A and B are shown apart, each in its own frame.
Chain A
Amino acid sequence: MAEKISKETVVKVSRLARLSLTTEETERMTAQLAGMLEHFRDIDALDLASVEPMTQPYPLKNVLRKDVELPSLDRDEVLDQAPAAESGRFRVPPTIGFDV
């Protein structure tokens, strides 16, 4: 399993997760995550080579829906709940410095 989690990795992960952790939070998080990951090493001993991953508890397949339209939500009711809206649309700050 991977080496002990570093502060740099925690910073990278916090960026991926769009969380602006404070310096103090980053340090605490690094220690806590390291502790947990250390505990999670218990499964390293298991031989899992021939084990199929289990992703769903109940084996279903082909759950399909007919292509039938239902009414839209009311735009005003929805936009009323938005932090910012304008001209029938959701408003967001500019994408400056954003890696699109």
Chain B
Amino acid sequence: MQKLVDIVAGVTNGSLKASAVVEEHLARIVARESEIHAFNLVTADQARTDAAKVDEDVKAGKKVGALAGVPIALKDNMCTRGVETTCSSKILQGWKPPYDATVVTKLRAAGAVIMGKTNLDEFAMGSSTENSAFGPTKNPHDVSRVPGGSSGGSAAAVSAGFAAASLGSDTGGSIRQPAALCGVVGVKPTYGVVSRYGLVAFASSLDQIGPFTSDVRDAATLLEVISGHDPMDSTSIPQPAPSLVSVLDHGVAGMRIGRVTDLPEGCEPDVLARLEAAFDALRSAGAIIVDIKLPSIQYCLTAYYLIAPAEASSNLARYDGVRYGNRVDAADLNSMYAATREAGFGEEVKRRIMLGTYALSAGYYDAYYGKALKVRRLISDDFAHAYEKTDVILTPTSPSVAFKFGSKTDNPLAMYLCDVFTIPTNLAGHPAMSVPFGTGADSMPVGVQVLATTLGEQAMFKVAAELERSL
């Protein structure tokens, strides 16, 4: 499969036609999409037009962008002007936003070719993409298994070669966990590094957009393009995009790699074995492994499943059948609201709206939401202490390899446990990425997660690159 960086190099020097690259990817989509269902919408015509434009520019000797001709898929919760954006929800089905998300504007300016909108758990709530109103996405490595979620479509699209790269969003692991399960690289940047403007909000203080690619260098290249300060997002960090590609060959000699000694239980042995192999590889490359403790990490799930639904209950209140999206008609306003939302939202979304509304409501705020915010502080403090002793931390990305469809759908809590290793960094606002690191049970991919402190992307990418080299 073609690397993003090779496509850019070829297209830019004229040895490769963007149009040919797009056709190759469209051909793979034609061959396997009906089986995988990575996309909610493939924008083939627009992709062909955009690719032709890139080829014209190259021919005319015009300067082309850092992603010239790269076919990229977008999670269907990022606004694209005039192109349906559904969040895999019936309530938004058919909605064509009148504006582009900042990341979309940046991708277009860099010459990327957008292939379409990928499937997700409805409103990004889930860990298997089974919560999509339009049917699940299948794992390209084994279609009887989930691709992970919520950005399952974006992970599968890269894994199946439908796009050279894709974007996902990560609120509690929604990029990293599907990346691990589909055997691709997935990055959640520091909160505030990539603009959230135009990303349909799930939990505003946790959401972050990031890339899926087939290798670490591609991820660094794409992240450099989409990051940087955006005045349209008040939580955007006022700093230029980090330089990442430049550090990939630096090696890890002398770097301190944290091993969490009080990691939550429940991780499959095959996954733990790959984690050990990762520590060995880094040690061999000259890194120093240090033991650290994160005592509050055991409370992460509680804090997350109170904070995220609380914010979501407010963020999703706007789907009321008045200004956009779908309405179920009724004789009076309140009945219209209730009927619209009852019919428009799936079960998991309703469950989280209920949980979040309850956690914020009068008489319960202090006991639930208020307490969760304090636990969030404890977790953040734990990390702060740990990063006094280490440069990065290594954990599994997911407790297991991709599981079979339906195996966790009856028990919400079992599903929530999929995110036990990814949630802590969202709460702290730190960067983390999943790197494919061999296979586990049934030859399914296993990911290792590299965590770093706020704006520690360079250290994280150095280690990720070393892990990749060691394979």
Q: Which residues of A contact B (CB under 8 A)?
A: 1-2, 5, 9-10, 13-14, 16-21, 25, 29, 32-33, 35-37, 39-40, 42-43, 46, 48, 51-58, 60, 63, 65, 73-74, 77-78, 81-84, 90, 92-98
Interface footprint category on B? 35 or more
What's the A-B contact tally at a CB cutoff of 8 Å? 172
Contact partner of B234 (CB less than 8 A), chosen from A43, A63, A74, A82, is A63
- Contacting pair B361 A13 (CB below 8 A): yes
Question: Cβ of B371 < 8 Å from any Cβ of A?
Answer: yes
| A51: B residues at CB distance < 8 A | 374, 377-378
Chain B interface helix/strand/loop/mixed: helix
Instruction: Give Cα A53–Cα B427 distance, bound, in whole angstroms.
Output: 12
User: Which 10 pairs, one residue from A and one from B, show the smallest C-beta to C-beta distance?
Assistant: A57-B429, A53-B373, A83-B327, A20-B338, A54-B377, A18-B337, A51-B374, A57-B191, A48-B374, A96-B332
- Contacting pair B302 A57 (CB below 8 A): no
Contact partner of A93 (CB less than 8 A), chosen from B330, B342, B358, is B330
- Contacting pair B375 A43 (CB below 8 A): yes
* Chain A proximity mask over B296-320: 1 for CB below 8 Å, otherwise 0: 0011011101100000010001001
Instruction: Give Cα A90–Cα B278 distance, bound, in whole angstroms.
Output: 57
Task: Known A48-B375, A52-B374, A57-B191; judge A42-B237 contact (CB<8 A).
Answer: no
| B327: A residues at CB distance < 8 A | 83-84
- Contacting pair B322 A92 (CB below 8 A): yes
- Residue in chain A with minimal CB distance to B97: A81
Instruction: Give Cα A84–Cα B339 distance, bound, in whole angstroms.
Output: 16
Question: Cβ of B438 < 8 Å from any Cβ of A?
Answer: no
- Contacting pair A83 B326 (CB below 8 A): yes
- Residue in chain B with minimal CB distance to A39: B413
| A90: B residues at CB distance < 8 A | 322-323
Chain A interface helix/strand/loop/mixed: loop
Contact partner of B353 (CB less than 8 A), chosen from A19, A42, A78, is A19
- Contacting pair B205 A56 (CB below 8 A): yes
Instruction: Give Cα A97–Cα B375 distance, bound, in whole angstroms.
Output: 41
| A13: B residues at CB distance < 8 A | 354, 357-358, 361
| B98: A residues at CB distance < 8 A | 73-74, 77-78, 81
Nearest chain B CB to A28 CB, angstrom units:
9
| B332: A residues at CB distance < 8 A | 93-98
Q: Which residues of B contact A (CB under 8 A)?
A: 95-96, 98-99, 190-192, 205-206, 231, 234-235, 237-238, 298-299, 301-303, 305-306, 313, 317, 320-327, 329-339, 341-342, 345, 350-351, 353-355, 357-358, 361, 363-364, 367-368, 370-378, 380, 412-413, 427-430, 454
19 more CB-based (< 8 A) A-B contacts, given A10-B354, A97-B334: A1-B367, A13-B358, A14-B354, A17-B353, A20-B335, A39-B301, A40-B302, A43-B372, A55-B205, A56-B205, A57-B380, A57-B429, A57-B454, A81-B324, A83-B327, A84-B327, A92-B336, A93-B330, A96-B333
Nearest chain A CB to B124 CB, angstrom units:
18
Instruction: Give Cα A52–Cα B373 distance, bound, in whole angstroms.
Output: 8
Instruction: Give Cα A17–Cα B353 distance, bound, in whole angstroms.
Output: 7
Instruction: Give Cα A5–Cα B330 distance, bound, in whole angstroms.
Output: 31
Contact partner of B412 (CB less than 8 A), chosen from A36, A82, A84, is A36
- Contacting pair A58 B192 (CB below 8 A): yes
| A65: B residues at CB distance < 8 A | 231
Instruction: Give Cα A16–Cα B325 distance, bound, in whole angstroms.
Output: 21
- Contacting pair B351 A29 (CB below 8 A): yes
- Residue in chain A with minimal CB distance to B342: A20
Nearest chain A CB to B194 CB, angstrom units:
13
Instruction: Give Cα A12–Cα B250 distance, bound, in whole angstroms.
Output: 58
